[in-house]
Chains A and B, each alone.
Chain A
């Protein structure tokens, strides 16, 4: 086995393959940075081009596009406050406030290094721990996935400390919006007013671009300044990089969460980066500064979303079950090139598979080389006057909403959510809670319904060890921010 691994290493290190990885990563970053496009579209575009290519070449190109696009979503999330992909939604929460403080370069550097680290570790997991991780992932049934969604929702407690009820209302509003469309169990269409457009519910990216991007554009139009509030940038690539390594605990914690969640079929990078963000925010001493430009928020979100890349391929390659939409498209690409996923694959074409694994590993390192020289140009967007930015950002929002499905109606839905988001922001409703409800709503409902069908009642919440642990953790996280430790200490001293 080790012989094949080394052969794969040597194959992936050839100059041609390294150039291929470099170019595809660059293309992936650009695709990811454009709102509405993402890794799925990137790999889908590669399929027709890859017909005449060798299997290894096609796989290496897909690795570059996948990693680059997942990372690329963070660029617009940090610089403009518009998540380029659903997996970078949590990045906006602290990344954009950092840009507003003139620290965009620092945030972008932190995002690049964290993404690279998360992706690298995840690729290592894919290469060496596929059998072990598959066993652990299989222990997470529907009940556990429901509790995981509940655990993710506990971020409401952290994000809404200033007004708990507003956070809670926002979260449940997000959950309510997520119920529009077909019922995940019975398949009936609900709350769609007989309109076919709503049969699948509100498109997630359209709502997110509306709530974050369009509402932000409207706010910008009211003022005449720049995102950073000045014409000069503070912070540097070096500061951002150093801060990532100073927060090793956050980096490792988020990478592990992302790697684990990536391996669970149907979960994907969106919930993973929200849950990693929640966990880090809840376990940090400076939890009050989350959402206001805390670099740990960027590290958590970015390390976790890129950490899903490698492990999402574990169920895809080991069982032929795609862990995410991107993995499903990648599965199509693999099958087109005659690679049949499953245990046999490692026996029949080991060299191709291990070259692909090494390619994925190197892509994450090359990501830093591709992106670092570009960061200062991305950061400069934050010192461009609003008068120039507003029409161009809105054009990007239109591309993001229209480009996904080609419906002009999506643009109108985005505008409606943009105006709603503008007023909700004015009323101090934390946007993170609404988006959290939207991201985790479907996951929570489908898994709760399935659990109830299997267990008949809610006993599973405390009868299964993993769900019980998650239940306790969720309860603790919800309560802790509201416990005044200083007050308790004073009382204890008095007594």
Chain B
């Protein structure tokens, strides 16, 4: 594992991720679907170029990593990265259940409390007002349906 780590860097990993995505797309298009040659002509060209350049990029990265011990750190603050990613996924998941207003309020309050910003009460109140104003403007004036949430739907219906 340590030997493998020596050759890996964010450059190599990301080139690999791109190739993996292209590979999954290609598997779906060429193996799982029954597409005509005409439909696959242009994607074949694009995927082939991706494959060639991606492979070159990986080889280049591995060779560079073998020569040097220093690698740029991926995260500036790992804890914050995982917190914000987790929070946004939970927020998006709760949108339909709790609705835009409640989910956004919980997300905003928890983020401000997590960052321990001074004068949190004032900021939280301002943010909540922004959430409500946005909801009213979008739903009432711009006719954009934002999730009302199951709870509010039960109360109002």
Contact = CB atoms under 8 A, between A and B. Distances in A.
Looking at B18, B41, B104, B147, which has the most chain A CB atoms within 10 Å of its CB? B18
What 4 A-B pairs are tightest by C-beta distance, nearest first? Answer: A221-B84, A427-B14, A391-B108, A387-B115
Interface in A371-389: 385, 387-388
Interface of B: 10-11, 13-15, 17-18, 21-22, 25, 28-29, 32-33, 35-36, 38-43, 46-47, 49-50, 53-54, 56-57, 60, 72, 74-77, 80-81, 83-85, 88-89, 91-92, 95-96, 100, 104, 107-108, 111-112, 115, 117, 123, 127, 130-131, 134, 138, 142-147
Interface string A405-435: 0101001100100111001101111000000
In the complex, which range does the number of interface residues on chain A fall in? 35 or more
Contacts of B40: 190
A57 B156 CA distance: 38
A394 B88 contact: yes
A37 B22 contact: no
B108 A190 contact: no
Contacts of B88: 214, 217, 394, 415, 418
Contacts of B14: 423-424, 426-427, 429
A224 B83 CA distance: 14
Nearest to B49: A172
Contact of A398 (B91, B115, B127): B91
Contact of A190 (B13, B33, B80, B111): B33
Given A169-B50, A394-B107, A37 B144 contact: yes
Interface in A216-272: 217-219, 221-224
Contact of B38 (A185, A217, A406, A427): A185
A152 to B, nearest CB: 16
Contacts of B75: 222
Interface in A156-183: 165-166, 168-169, 172-173, 175-176, 179-180, 183
Contacts of A394: 88, 91, 107
A168 B142 contact: no
A167 B33 CA distance: 30
Given A191-B29, A423-B74, 17 more contacts: A168-B53, A172-B53, A173-B21, A173-B50, A176-B21, A190-B35, A191-B33, A214-B88, A218-B81, A388-B117, A390-B84, A402-B95, A402-B147, A403-B138, A411-B95, A424-B14, A426-B74
Contacts of A166: 11, 57
Most buried by A among B41, B46, B81, B117: B46
A486 to B, nearest CB: 26
Contacts of A406: 144-145
B92 A172 contact: no
A449 interface: yes
B142 A176 contact: no
A214 B84 CA distance: 11
B54 to A, nearest CB: 6
A479 interface: no
A31 B127 CA distance: 21
Given A222-B81, A223-B77, A387 B117 contact: yes
A427 B112 contact: no
A186 B41 CA distance: 12
A223 B104 CA distance: 22
B56 A191 contact: no
Nearest to A188: B39
B62 to A, nearest CB: 14
Binding site secondary structure of chain A: helix
B53 A191 contact: no
Given A222-B77, A394-B88, A423-B17, A403 B111 contact: no
A445 B44 CA distance: 12
Interface string A197-224: 0000000000000000010011101111
6 contacts: A217-B84, A224-B115, A391-B112, A411-B95, A415-B89, A445-B42
Contacts of B95: 398, 402, 408, 411
A16 interface: no
A392 B74 CA distance: 25
Nearest to A186: B39
B92 A191 contact: no
B42 A449 contact: yes
B46 to A, nearest CB: 5
A133 to B, nearest CB: 31
A395 interface: yes
Contacts of B17: 420, 423
A356 to B, nearest CB: 24
A218 B108 CA distance: 15
A385 B117 contact: yes
A186 B36 contact: yes
Contacts of B85: 218, 419
Nearest to B115: A387
Contacts of B33: 190-191
- Could you say which of A185, A218, A395 has the most chain B C-beta atoms within 10 Å of its C-beta? A395
A388 B112 contact: yes
B115 A169 contact: no
A117 to B, nearest CB: 29
B38 A186 contact: yes
Nearest to B15: A169
Nearest to B78: A222
Contacts of A173: 18, 21-22, 50
Contacts of B108: 391-392, 395
Nearest to A409: B92
